[in-house]
């Protein structure tokens, strides 16, 4: 399996999940400004949506969309603590959390990663991010360690990745103490650290 990634982007969630599950995989970096991967392949030919993450299998098939990828991966290892719960409501709760992180929360950061966003749009986006952080602070307010049902899941890994972008939006995450503590807890996981190192993100941390 090969994961196409952009360092520190949402593909980091798939990358961490691969490592947490102990799977064998290769990494290939995509450079959006060139439209090419590090080996010179045209990325449009790999993922026509020109987005990461993308997972390529040995038979050449390519699967995209971060939420689908992490659910696909944990489905391979039903005994692992990251596996989706069997009970249907508990399973839907993880998907509910993942969906919030991968859509509303993730996309509220888009203006900060686009060169042509004006200040008014950034202000609106920042207000939305604050709203989401307030919600998360309330969730973690009951003392839980993990986002969904206080049990480690792929939603935590994706949430950790998006929380790493908070400072890029001009906010300081430590204004939300419980969410900040969650990010710290996730950050020190050995497989999180190895993924950060592989993407060249430890020096900058
Ligand atoms: N719907 C996609 C969105 C993925 C996405 O937004 N990827 C961003 C990084 S977080 C990307 O590929 N950015 C590169 C670019 O915009 O050129 C998913 O959930 O996987």
Which protein residues touch ligand 1 with a CB less than 6 Å away?
6, 9-10, 32, 50-53, 65-66, 102
Helix axes 190-198, 11-20, angle to 10 degrees: 130
- In a shared domain, residues 71 and 146: no
Radius of gyration of the chain measured on its C-alpha atoms: 17
Helix (H, G, I), strand (E, B) or coil at 129: helix
Q: Output the CA 35–ligand 1 centroid distance in Å.
A: 13
Residue closest via CA to ligand 1's atom 17 equals 32
Mean pLDDT of 105-131: 95
Q: What is the pLDDT of residue 205?
A: 47
Q: Is residue 156 part of a domain?
A: yes
Q: What is the pLDDT of residue 89?
A: 98
Q: What is the pLDDT of residue 147?
A: 98
- In a shared domain, residues 21 and 74: yes
Q: Is residue 117 part of a domain?
A: yes
Look up the domain containing 8 and give its range.
2-79+192-198
- In a shared domain, residues 125 and 39: no
Helix axes 177-187, 119-140, angle to 10 degrees: 80
Q: What is the pLDDT of residue 124?
A: 96
Nearest to 193 by CA among 54, 10, 19: 19
* Per-residue model confidence as pLDDT tens digits over 34-77: 999 999 999 999 999 999 999 999 999 999 999 999 999 999 99
Q: What is the pLDDT of residue 84?
A: 97
Q: Are 17 and 82 in contact (CB under 8 A)?
A: yes
Q: Is residue 106 part of a domain?
A: yes
Q: What is the pLDDT of residue 10?
A: 98
Q: Are 109 and 169 in contact (CB under 8 A)?
A: yes
| Number of structural domains in the chain | 2
Residue closest via CA to ligand 1's atom 18 equals 65
Residue closest via CA to ligand 1's atom 13 equals 51
Q: Is residue 137 part of a domain?
A: yes
- pLDDT of 203 > 90? The answer is no
- In a shared domain, residues 63 and 94: no
- In a shared domain, residues 42 and 96: no
Task: Please identify, by atom number, the ligand 1 atom nearest to the C-alpha of residue 103.
Answer: 19
Residue 59's CATH number: 3.40.30.10
Q: Output the CA 65–ligand 1 centroid distance in Å.
A: 8
- In a shared domain, residues 12 and 104: no
Q: Output the CA 180–ligand 1 centroid distance in Å.
A: 24
Residue closest via CA to ligand 1's atom 9 equals 9
Q: Is residue 203 part of a domain?
A: no
- In a shared domain, residues 46 and 104: no
Order of strands, edge to edge, in the sheet holding 62-64? 36-37, 26-31, 2-5, 54-56, 62-64
Q: Is residue 99 part of a domain?
A: yes
Mean pLDDT of 97-125: 95
Rounded distance between C-alpha atoms, residue 31 and residue 38, angstroms: 7
How confident is the prediction for the chain on average, in pLDDT?
97
């Amino acid at each position: 399996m090969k994961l196409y990634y952009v360092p520190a982007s949402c593909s980091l969630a798939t990358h961490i999940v691969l490592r947490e599950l102990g799977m064998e995989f290769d990494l290939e970096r995509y450079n959006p400004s060139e439209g090419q991967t590090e080996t010179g392949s045209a990325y449009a030919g790999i993922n026509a949506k020109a987005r990461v993450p993308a997972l390529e299998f040995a038979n050449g098939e390519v699967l995209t969309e971060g939420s689908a990828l992490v659910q696909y991966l944990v489905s391979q290892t039903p005994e692992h603590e990251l596996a989706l719960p069997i009970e249907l409501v508990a399973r839907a709760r993880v998907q509910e959390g993942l969906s919030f992180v991968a859509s509303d929360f993730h996309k509220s950061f888009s203006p900060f990663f686009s060169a042509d966003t004006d200040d008014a749009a950034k202000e609106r986006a920042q207000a939305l991010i604050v709203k989401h952080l307030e919600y998360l602070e309330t969730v973690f307010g009951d003392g839980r360690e993990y986002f969904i049902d206080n049990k480690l899941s792929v939603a935590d890994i994706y949430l950790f990745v998006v929380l790493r972008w908070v400072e890029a939006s001009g906010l300081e995450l430590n204004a939300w103490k419980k969410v900040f503590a969650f990010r710290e807890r996730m950050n020190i996981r050995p497989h999180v650290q190895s993924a950060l190192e592989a993407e060249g993100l430890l020096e900058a941390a």
